[in-house]
Amino acid sequence: MEKQLETKAPEKKPKPSFINAKSTKISSTSPHQVQDAGYNLVDALLKHDQHLDERLEGLVIQSDDTQEKVSKLEQELKDLKKTSQDYDDQIATLEAKTSAVFDNATTKLIKKYLAIYERLKTDEKLFKTSCNEELERLQLELATHDDVTDANKADLQAQLDKYKERIEEGRIELASINRKVATLKRQIEQVPNRQELREYRLRFSELYNQVSGTHRSTKQFFSLYNSLEDTKRYLEKELSLLNSIVDSFQVVSGSASGREDFCRQLQQTHDGMKETCSKVEKRLQTEKLGVEKMHIEFQKLVDLKVSYEKCLKELEAECKRNDHLLAECKDFEKSAVPTTN
């Protein structure tokens, strides 16, 4: 036991308060009692030393746990930074896509969300800086202080809970921003691009041509039917007229007055047929004039279609040129950013 006492002496640990309390009693007792008191004192010192060692091991374990938690927090911050970088790229792509489609109101809304996103990035950087400073402070405390009280443990746990709460709030806010970005992305995807609009135009043109051909053939069939129906009606009238003439001629052939009446009726029938023919000829002339007008209008529409296709080709060429110029401007801005920094 004396050897153990000698080995523990160089550590220069603080003496417990009960050593001074018992020293006054040892001086007034016998040597045997002094030896027993010394043994008891050594045992107390060994127990106190063992208690301090156990406490030190507990603090070391707690320090390892704290470092592990801090490393996990750093890893989460790295993941958040990577995710935010991905969202930066996606938002830049969305801005490039929506620059020619969205109106000013939607652009302002997107800029507002981008400003919120930039503010979140700034908060994330500040939070990371504060976490690194707090990590350095904790490591300095662990290196310089061997004795940590229960109050310090409670403070560290409260700070850790506070940081966890801040991280959770940041995750919730980032999730809401992600939902808004996903909503805007779906809205952008619902708007057809130029290639899709070109395909739609071609499909509608084909459908219009198909419907127009079907309508034209149907009109021709109706016109043919009406003309055949008119021919049939005229033939039936002519046949009935000839039959009535033959029947009337057989009846009135025996008397002179009957023949005169018969001739007068034939003259009236002939005059009616002439009048009908004149009406049909007038209608034919009217239809010819309508056909000529429609032909002139069709020719104008053909010229307008040609000019429209020409303007469309020029517009497509200008759009391609605009896209090329925008790409060159973006490349120039990207190349000019490092020089300004």
Residue-wise burial string across 188-207, b where 16 or more C-beta atoms lie within 10 A, e elsewhere: beeeeeeeeeeeeeeeeeee
Q: How many helices (H) and strands (E) does the chain have?
A: 7, 0
Tokens, residue 107 = 């652009």
Does residue 206 sit in the same domain as residue 285? yes
11: DSSP letter = G
**What is the number of structural domains in the chain?**
3
| pLDDT exceeds 50 at position 24 | no
* pLDDT range class, residue 297, cuts 50, 70, 90: very high
pLDDT at site 151:
62
Among 7-11, 19-23, 149-153, the range with the most confident prediction by mean pLDDT is 149-153
| Same-domain check for residues 220 and 313 | yes
- Reference 70, options 118, 142, 170, 178; nearest CA is 142
Judgement on whether residues 181 and 71 belong to the same structural domain of the protein: yes
pLDDT of residue 32: 59
The CA–CA distances, whole Å, from 236 to 171, 232, 275 equal 91, 6, 19
**In angstroms, rounded to a whole number, what is the distance separating the alpha carbons of residues 235 and 212?**
34
Alpha carbon distance 76, 64 (integer Å)? 18
pTM: 0.32
**24 plus 69 within the same structural domain:** no
- Whether 275 shows a pLDDT value over 50: the answer reads yes
Beta strand spans in 33-185 (E): none
Mean pLDDT value of segment 146-174: 78
Domain for residue 176, yes or no? yes
Predicted local confidence at residue 65, as pLDDT = 81
Considering the domain boundaries, does residue 70 fall inside one?
yes
Residues 22 and 107 in one domain: no
**Local confidence band at 145 (pLDDT 50, 70, 90 cut-offs):** low
Is 55 contained in some domain?
Answer: no
Please state, as a whole number, how many other Cβ atoms lie within 10 Å of the Cβ of residue 49: 14
Range of the domain at 222: 195-324
**pLDDT band for position 102 (50/70/90)?**
low
> Please, what sign has the CA dihedral across residues 49, 51, 57, 59?
negative
Considering the domain boundaries, does residue 40 fall inside one?
yes
| Residue 11 confidence (pLDDT) | 44
Please check whether residue 225 lies inside any domain of the structure.
yes
Per the domain annotation, does 168 fall within a domain? yes
Given a contact cutoff of 8 angstroms between Cβ atoms, the answer to whether 54 and 112 are in contact is no
pLDDT computed for residue 12 by the predictor: 44
User: Are residue 114 and residue 172 in the same domain, yes or no?
Assistant: yes
Vertex 248: Cα angle to 246 and 251 (nearest 5): 110
Q: Are 167 and 75 in contact (CB under 8 A)?
A: no
- pLDDT tens digits, one per residue of 26-83: 444 455 565 666 667 777 777 777 777 788 887 888 777 888 888 888 888 888 888 8
For residue 305, is it within any domain?
yes
- Written as one letter, the residue type at 183 is T
Handedness of CA 182, 183, 188, 190 (dihedral sign): positive
What are the angstrom distances between the C-alpha of 335 and each of 80, 255, 328, 332? 27, 117, 10, 5
Last residue within a domain, chosen from 146, 164, 191? 191
Rounded to an integer, the average pLDDT of 117-131 is 86
